[in-house]
Amino acid sequence: MTPDLEGAEVLVAVDEYGSIGAAARRLGITQPAASARLRAMEARWGLTLVERSARGSQLTDEGRAVAGWGRAAFERVAALQAGLEALRGRHDRDLRVAASLTVAGYLVPRWLGELRARYQAATPQLMVVNSAAVVDRVREGTADLGFIETPDLPSDLAVRKVGEDALAVVAHPSHAWARRDRPVDRDELAQEPLVLREPGSGTRRTFEAALGASPQVAMEASSTASLVGAVIAGIAPGVVAERAVIAAVQNGDVVPVATIVDARRPLSVVWSRERRLSRTAEALVAIATAGSATMRP
């Protein structure tokens, strides 16, 4: 039989405060309820734990022994609860986020700012890698959440769409495409050497899927800044996230090129189905999802 914790709690309180009435007040219950718990415990175990008289109630020798064991048990329960709360607090504070380049550069900082406003004790860590590496980090457990920008969604992870993004083809103002009055078609895109992100990036995978062919590579860049810089330098037209090139277009450093290719992509958050999300991780997912309506540049 499992111990009667409610009865033991009353017994310990009687031992500490000297009477059933005082014990009941300390526990926030009525005196009849406290007496009923003690009687139920005595009947269950066939013991007399409290001697009741007109002068009050006193613990028997057996009652004092049980009260001592109960006190030790409650101290252990309190230590267990304190330990669990400490672990949960650390679990909620420490949030490891991996994000692909565009999401990390233009969206995640805003989301983390809102998260910190809600949970000031949160200490998120942001790792910026391409989409394939984001998925790997979530799988291996070195990231709690991963934000990716690719149409290739992992089937072994939990996935939630948080928005949509689009790619743009941009060229140096002196390039022939910058002066065209008709869209560039698929064949022209496939034949023209381009500045592209590295294999494994969501930008590269989205463009290849939209193009339906392997593009010609003039240069591969592992960062958006270096990709845009290569286009500004006149190396070749480039494929980049729309939001990442707004300033360069406004400054006249590059020119957006109209194409017939629809290169939109989902922005998603992924996490392991095997590991429970902390409260801060759940909050970040909710913040990102709620912000999806205003994510377009």
Q: What are the residue boundaries of the structural domains of the chain, listed by start? A: 5-91, 93-163+265-294, 166-264
Please check whether residue 34 is in contact with residue 40, taking contact to mean a CB–CB distance below 8 angstroms.
no
pLDDT tens, residue by residue, 236-267: 999 999 988 999 999 999 999 999 998 899 99
Percent of the chain with pLDDT over 90: 60
Higher pLDDT, 255 or 296: 255
Crossing angle of the two packed helices 5-17 and 61-93, in degrees rounded to 10: 110
Q: Please enumerate in sequence order all residues whose Cβ is within 8 A of that of 97, keeping only pairs 6 or more positions apart, or say none.
A: 108, 112, 124, 125, 126, 127, 143, 144, 145, 146, 147, 284
Which segments of 54-130 does DSSP mark as H helices, in order?
61-93, 101-106, 108-118
pLDDT > 60? residue 230: yes
What is the per-residue pLDDT for 75?
85
Q: Which CATH class is domain 5-91?
A: mainly alpha
Please check whether residue 270 is in contact with residue 154, taking contact to mean a CB–CB distance below 8 angstroms.
yes
Q: If we measure between CA atoms, which residue out of 220, 248, 243, 229 comes closest to residue 102?
A: 243
pLDDT band, residue 295 (cuts 50/70/90): very low
- Decide whether 93-163+265-294 matches 166-264 in CATH topology: yes
pLDDT band, residue 293 (cuts 50/70/90): very low
Q: How is domain 93-163+265-294 classified at the CATH fold level?
A: D-Maltodextrin-Binding Protein; domain 2 (3.40.190)
pLDDT band, residue 19 (cuts 50/70/90): confident
Please check whether residue 124 is in contact with residue 225, taking contact to mean a CB–CB distance below 8 angstroms.
no
pTM of the predicted protein model = 0.66
Higher pLDDT, 86 or 11: 11
Q: Which CATH class is domain 166-264?
A: alpha beta
pLDDT tens, residue by residue, 78-104: 778 776 666 665 555 679 999 998 899
State the Cα torsion 168-172-176-178 to the nearest 10°.
Answer: 50
Residue 52's DSSP bridge partners are: 57
Token pair, residue 139, equals 């799988």
> What integer is the mean pLDDT of 30-58?
87
